[in-house]
Structure formats: C-alpha cells, structure tokens
Amino acid sequence: MLALILLLIVRAIYVIRGIRSEKPDLARRDPVKTLVVLGSGGHTTEMIQLLQQLKHESYTPLVFVVADTDITSMRRVEAFGARQPDSIYRIPRSREVGQSYLSSIVTTLWSFLHAFGIVLRIRPNVLLCNGPGTCLPIAIVTLAYRILGLCEGRIIFVESFCRVQSLSLTGKLLYHVVDLFVVHWESLQTKFPRSKVVSTFVPHRKT
C-alpha cells in the first residue's frame, strides 16, 4: 500500500513537472480526441469562436460537456453554424448564481462525481476549457486520470477576453496545472508569465 502511494506521488510529480516544463510536442500525426467544456453564456460564445479555427481532421472526435441546466449553449452552436460535436455529455453545475456557500459544497462534490464517470468514458487527448466553474471538476479529474495513466489529458485553459488585468477565479485555480494557459491581453500576459497571448479577439498593438 505504502509503495503504491509512493509510486503515485512520484508519478504525480513527474506529470506536473512535465506540464511545467512547457515543451511543445515534437510531431504528431494522429488526430486528438478533443473534449470541450461549454461554460454557458459569453463563455460558450467565445469557445465557439475559438473552435471555428481548429482543423477538423486534427481535432476529432469532438466531444462537448454542457451543464445540465444550460439550455442556450447548444442553441448558440447552431446559431453560429459551428461544427457539431460527435457526442454531448451533461454535467450538474457546481454552482448556480447566488447559491449559498454550504450548498455549493454539496453540488460541487456532486458534479465531481459525475466528472469522474464522464472523463473516464471519454479519455480525451486534449481538454479545452475557458471557465467558469463548470469546467473545474472536469479539468481536475482529467489531471488525475493523466497521473494514473488513463488518458493523455492535455489541458488547455483559455481565459475570457474580458480579462484585461486580472484572472478569473477558475483561471487562478488552474493556472499552475494546465499545459497551456491562454490570455488575450498583453497586459495580463506580463503579469502571468506562464500564459501565452493570442490575438484572436484583440489585435496586437503595433509597436
């Protein structure tokens, strides 16, 4: 038992060090099974826009996870004429707006429980998420399975382009454990050196 725990710790350190070394992969030919968490509202809209530019043949199959109370995300996917996923999973939301602290502990545990089942069935090569809280259980469970060697589980977090000076709570929590942390403003990138800046929404200032 002790040996097993030690082995797990060593493996966890190895994986986290790998993540933090930030070495890009050398060459990849096979497509990656891509799991995307649609966070509802503006988060979903931003995610759809990010997905639109990804090559279909590289990022396939495509799987969506949506909060069970979220009825607008999939409508948005249709409204944008965006690529339809190969499958969709529903997860209980960890926290509704205005929910009390105590009851959010219970609902968070509940959505973690679901996340264990969902991620085990999907075993993604890549997880793409951009907040809010809904993506947290999925991201943590993906990391756990990666440590256990159950999936490749590369985690990509994209901060909302509304974030110019500060990270979201989900962003702060995931900053150190994701493979790629993406922001949209140079002012934010300078504060968080692990992050990479893209100009998908905000053109870079010409200097």
Contacting positions for another protein (CB under 8 A): 24-28, 32, 42, 45, 49-50, 52-55, 57-58, 126, 154, 156, 158, 160-166, 168, 179-180, 182, 185, 187, 196, 198-203, 205
Shortest Cβ 55–another protein spacing (Å): 6
Q: How is the chain split among helix, strand and coil, in percent rounded to 5?
A: 40, 15, 45
Shortest Cβ 141–another protein spacing (Å): 21
Tokens representing 190? 């300078």
Q: Which is nearer to another protein, 1 or 78 (CB)?
A: 78
Q: Which is nearer to another protein, 6 or 164 (CB)?
A: 164
Q: Which is nearer to another protein, 47 or 141 (CB)?
A: 47
Tokens representing 207? 């200097």
d(CA 105, CA 109): 6
Q: Which is nearer to another protein, 19 or 91 (CB)?
A: 19
Tokens representing 165? 């000076």
Shortest Cβ 106–another protein spacing (Å): 26
CA count, 13 A, side-chain hemisphere, 67: 26
- Torsion angle defined by CA atoms of residues 39, 41, 43 and 45, in that order, rounded to the nearest 10 degrees: 120
d(CA 175, CA 164): 16
Shortest Cβ 50–another protein spacing (Å): 5
Shortest Cβ 128–another protein spacing (Å): 8
Q: Which is nearer to another protein, 5 or 23 (CB)?
A: 23
Residue 54 to residues 36, 60, 82, 163, Cα–Cα distance (Å): 12, 10, 11, 23
